[in-house]
Amino acid sequence: MNPEFRPKKYVVGVIGPRALPKKSAAYTFVENLGKALINEGFSIVCGGRTGAMEAVCKGACEAESYSFGCTIGILPGKEKSSANPYCDLVIPTGIGVARNLILVQTADILVAIGGGSGTLSELAFSWQNGKHVICCTNFGGWSAELAGRSLDPHHQNLFHPASTIEEILSLLNHYLPTKK
């Protein structure tokens, strides 16, 4: 296929806690989000490791519309083997938490679920770079805390609250109105 005619996909960054129990409601929610994102025609970028990162990639791989290359993991370390088994494309950076900026820059828009200091770092980078973030409000953490709020006067209305996958998809389609 001629590259100039190849359709491009939007890349949704999914950020959240690395310590998310597999049997928790949050893990199941993120897994279902991964399925929904792929079935809606998006690709996914995440931190590539455990918890929310694993859940979103696992769900993506189980989606009806899944094809290899839909999930991208940006790792903090140098070892590809530290990625979760559901990451298609693994990018070991060797730069530690600085990889959070690469993740944010790779994404066209982000979805945040829960989260501690790593997620807070990604939210701050998103804000500083003018990226819209859909903040899930039903699992606590920094995403719920910052949903609908402003961090400083440099940007407005970048952190959008949502509590269901349907709301997340609606906001994605609102802020990314036409597929690339």
With respect to residue 136, please indicate whether it lies within any of the assigned structural domains.
Answer: yes
Provide the phi-psi class of 12: left if phi over 0, else alpha when psi is between -120 and 50, else beta.
beta
Angle at CA of residue 117, ends 80 and 24, nearest 5°: 75
How many residues does this entry show for the chain?
180
What pLDDT is attached to residue 177?
73
Task: Judge whether 131 lies within some domain.
Answer: yes
Q: Which residue range forms the structural domain that includes residue 163?
A: 11-174
Residue 33 lies in a domain: yes
Per-residue pLDDT of the chain (180 residues; tens, 9 = 90+): 455 555 678 999 999 999 999 999 999 999 999 999 999 999 999 999 999 999 999 999 999 999 999 999 999 999 999 999 999 999 999 999 999 999 999 999 999 999 999 999 999 999 999 999 999 999 999 999 999 999 999 999 999 999 999 999 999 999 997 755
The answer to whether position 55 is within a domain reads yes
Residue 154 sits in a domain whose CATH number is 3.40.50.450
Q: Based on the structure, what is the number of domains in the chain?
A: 1
- Alpha-carbon span 47 to 16, nearest angstrom: 9
Instruction: Give the pLDDT of residue 178.
Output: 72
- pTM for the whole thing? 0.94
2 located within any domain: no
pLDDT for 5: 52
Residue with structure tokens 């290899």? Answer: 68
What distance in Å separates the CA atoms of residue 8 and residue 11, rounded to the nearest whole number? 9
